[in-house]
């Protein structure tokens, strides 16, 4: 079932050791697909309860931060921003200090800069403006 798949993908994200980029990409794709296909919020997935079903995988600040950073790194900026903003929410509203407040804010700021750059680049292409 889809809930077993997401549980498996979430357990890969929370893996305590090092995982390969290929493993991370597969886990991220599973999470993005699940989030999109079932119209779920970041909170829905990170809380460990999806549509009333306990996935037994609660994501902490560091998990949400990593999902956000990886999403942005592969140009899933909107979804990455959602995950980073939720990581910031967790930092501000819990005792979880696995990632510092400033680090999450810096990642959000860099994501906004990247998004503005990509918007400008797209505008230039659409309007025939030469690249500088």
- Angstrom distance (rounded) from CA 92 to CA 75: 26
Is residue 88 domain-resident? yes
Query: How far is Cα 120 from Cα 118, in angstroms, rounded to an integer?
Result: 5
Q: State pTM to two decimals.
A: 0.73
CATH of the domain at 60: 1.25.40.10
Kindly state whether residue 19 falls inside one of the protein's structural domains: yes
Domain encompassing residue 67: 2-126
User: Has residue 132 been placed in a domain?
Assistant: no
Asked whether residue 131 is assigned to any structural domain, the reply reads: no
In a domain, 84, yes or no: yes
Answer yes or no: is pLDDT of 29 > 90. Answer: no
Q: Is residue 41 part of a domain?
A: yes
Element at 80 (helix H, strand E): helix 77-93
- Cross-strand pairs, 54: 49
CB atoms within 10 A of CB 68: 27
The pLDDT of residue 16 is above 60: no
Domain count, the chain: 1
Q: Please answer whether residues 107 and 84 qualify as being in contact, where contact means their C-beta atoms are separated by less than 8 angstroms.
A: yes
Q: Mean pLDDT, the chain, as a whole number? A: 82
pLDDT digits (tens, 9 = 90+) for 50-82: 778 887 788 899 999 999 999 998 888 999 999
Higher pLDDT, 85 or 31: 85
């Amino acid at each position: 079932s889809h809930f077993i798949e997401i549980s498996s993908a979430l357990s890969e994200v929370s893996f305590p050791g090092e995982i390969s980029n290929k493993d991370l990409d597969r886990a991220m794709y599973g999470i993005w697909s699940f989030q999109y296909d079932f119209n779920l919020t970041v909170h829905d997935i990170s809380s460990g309860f999806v549509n009333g079903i306990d996935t037994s995988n609660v994501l902490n600040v560091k998990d949400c931060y990593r999902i956000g950073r990886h999403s942005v790194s592969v140009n899933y900026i909107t979804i990455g921003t959602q995950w980073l903003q939720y990581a910031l929410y967790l930092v501000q509203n819990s005792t979880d200090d696995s990632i510092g407040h400033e680090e999450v804010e810096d990642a959000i700021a860099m994501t906004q800069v990247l998004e503005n750059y990509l918007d400008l680049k797209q505008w230039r292409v659409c309007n025939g403006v030469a690249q500088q």
